[in-house]
Amino acid sequence: MRFPIIPLLISGAFAAAASSAWATSERAITAEQTTNKIGECMTVEGQVSLRPSMGRFGSDLSFENSNGFVGYVPQPAALGDLARFDGQTVDLTGVIEPGQYGLTQIQVTSPEQIMMADETPDRLVTCDHF
């Protein structure tokens, strides 16, 4: 018995909706672009400096050459050795929200949210993971 081969086509709208749900370094934005993305789950890529957070507990992964965007880590001990990211280019995934002093931030509560920019994730990182 012969069965016809029917090609499977994915509509452009479906493909666009599906790809927007995944945050990958191919779709990373810069720290400067975060001010227009408040409330969205995004991956932000850039070189960071680790420093104590000013006026609150925790640490900041401050994106260099940015408008003041930070990855705020309220409980640094829960993420392991954050010092390994100091001075490195990282991909930080999460919901962009207003931060202190009118700046923008992503709150980092899971180690899955941050990785070196040149690492290939073995999973699709989405905001529903954390």
CA distances in angstroms from 32 to 8, 13, 29, listed in the order given:
39, 28, 8
- For residue 23 the two structure tokens come to 């945050």
User: Does CATH number 2.40.50.200 belong to domain 12-129?
Assistant: yes
Q: How many residues does the chain have?
A: 130
Of the candidates 122, 84, 103, the one whose C-alpha atom is nearest the C-alpha of residue 31 is: 103
* DSSP assignment letter at 105: E
Answer whether residue 130 shows pLDDT above 60: no
The phi, psi pair for 30, rounded to 5°, reads -90, 165
Where along the chain do its domains lie? 12-129
Q: What is the pLDDT of residues 79-121, one digit of tens each?
A: 999 999 999 999 999 999 998 888 899 999 999 899 999 876 6
